[in-house]
Structure 1
Amino acid sequence: MAVGARLSALICFLGMLVLVGPAARANCGVDAELGEVAEECDKSAATIEAEKQKYPTSTWTVRQICKDARRLPDGTCFNPSTCTTVEGVPGTRYVVFRDGEYDGTACLSAGEKESIEAPPDVRVLVIRAFERLEWPSSQLTVQPVGGKTLVNLKTNFYTSNDKPTSISVRLVESDVVVTARPIAYRWNFGDGTSMVSESPGSPYPNLDVAHVYEQLDEVAVSVDTQYGDASFTVNGGPPEAIPSTIWVNGESQDLRIVEALPQLVLQ
């Protein structure tokens, strides 16, 4: 067989494979034409919503994928590329952006598109941010001072951290101020005991928070602070309550429990 005849037969055979081969099917529900490879959509509305939970302060936008290059001034396609969502609803193919950066493609219905582009709820973001803010720990004061106290006598504990704290944050292009105050204190005495009080304690001679050590020892003491009674404002508006509370651990310090030894004094 001549070379030209062999080449013609090969081309014919390949053409038959294209015609009888199955249509490629895109993940987002688009049936490709015979012999074409369809571009896959790698996201659905559900996967984007999951990512919005992971990145709650991000801004999400989408842009239609067009069948041709013609667009209206607002970016809408004259001939948008259509698809079928995973729920079987007619949709449109979009390019997805997170904070202006390309984040993949998706097949979305009209309602899903509006939901994805809706800005995050500021209140939800504030409640999530409340526990991540750097609330100050309480500075512990122990009396007697000097890192030593006496066995079988009351040791006094207190902190001066009893005022509200306000922290400014920027969320969803809004100026937010979060305020909380100490509502409880957990006193860790270092000998296996602790107590919780609403009082921050007070300096001697008042013994609002006191502890008696019953044996000689070297311990690490600290006070943890629970913040609550919290609220926030948005762009200087009225305060709104936050139902959350959070414990902030205090820094520990060493304390020696010693015995008072009698001393002879010359008169």
Structure 2
Amino acid sequence: MIYAINGPRKGQLVGTSSYCTVEPAIDIPGAEQDIAKVTPERFRELPILASTIISQPDSFSLRNGHAHMYADSENQNFDIVIFDQDVRVRAIPTSYSWSYGDGSSRTLNFPGEPQSNRGFDAPTSSSHVYKETGDFGVDLTTRFRGEFSTEGGPWTPIPGVANVPSASMTMSVWRTKKVLVAENCQGTPDGPGCASIFE
């Protein structure tokens, strides 16, 4: 005799059958509905934290320079209960969709990383070049895939994804103007600092 120990039919007799190892597995009517599993809708309802947009230097770049930005993101774990069963869910970031506020966008499969001791003339794997000056709203949406484990069992993929938008960041883009003390660029156009790409 088979009794349900969890789920909506807890304590009820759900099947009676004789069984030997040489016989096929027993099919229990309705058993699929008794198993705790995480649906895509339930996964998207979890309080998944958005990535944080970080730029170096903070919210500032130069026209025609490489504005370095990256996403601060990590795996997240959640403990929930379904049908009286303990279920652990983890959300794993898989891609990052950037919108730079100047009409351009792209999707990366990595978050980027901090960069130290770099100038605006050095590109990075997650930097962006602004062709004009001004203030631009940078948006980021991180795509998370999910997995769940019921009562410490194996991890099972959750169909679908959760798209989590981040708080926007304003990028201020300036231009530079270099003036020589001893000479000027009109008289000596080939002088040091007279051909800056950032002007």
Normalising by structure 1, what TM-score? 0.51
**Within 1, Cα distance between the matches of 2:137 and 2:50?**
16
User: What's the offset of the Cα at 1:192?
Assistant: 1.4
Structure 1 residue aligned with 2:102: 191
**Within 1, Cα distance between the matches of 2:181 and 2:153?**
69
Q: Describe the superposition over 1:188-233 as per-residue Cα deviations: whole angstroms up to 9, x where unpaired.
A: 11111110011111222471111111111211112211111x2111
Answering whether residue 194 of structure 2 is matched by residue 248 of structure 1, we say: no
Unpaired runs of 5+ residues, structure 1, are: 1-57, 61-113
Number of positions where the alignment pairs a residue of Structure 1 with one of Structure 2: 153
**Within 2, Cα distance between the matches of 1:242 and 1:197?**
22
| Structure 2 counterpart of 1:214, from 131, 134, 150 | 131
CA contact (8 A) 1:199 1:208 kept: no
Say which SS state the counterpart of residue 129 (structure 1) adopts: helix
CA contact (8 A) 1:119 1:172 kept: no
Say which SS state the counterpart of residue 122 (structure 1) adopts: coil
Q: Which has the higher contact order (CA 8 A, sep 6+)?
A: 2
Larger radius of gyration: 1
Task: Work out the percentage of aligned pairs sharing the same amino acid.
Answer: 25
| Structure 1 counterpart of 2:142, from 202, 220, 225 | 225
RMSD of aligned alpha carbons = 2.9
**Within 1, Cα distance between the matches of 2:53 and 2:181?**
35
CA spacing shift, 1:263–1:168, aligned 2, 3 Å:
farther
Normalising by structure 2, what TM-score? 0.67
Unpaired runs of 5+ residues, structure 2, are: 1-6, 10-28, 183-199
User: What's the offset of the Cα at 1:243?
Assistant: 2.5
> Could you tell me which amino acid in structure 1 is paired with residue 148 of structure 2?
F
Answering whether residue 43 of structure 2 is matched by residue 130 of structure 1, we say: yes
**Within 1, Cα distance between the matches of 2:112 and 2:154?**
33
Say which SS state the counterpart of residue 163 (structure 2) adopts: strand
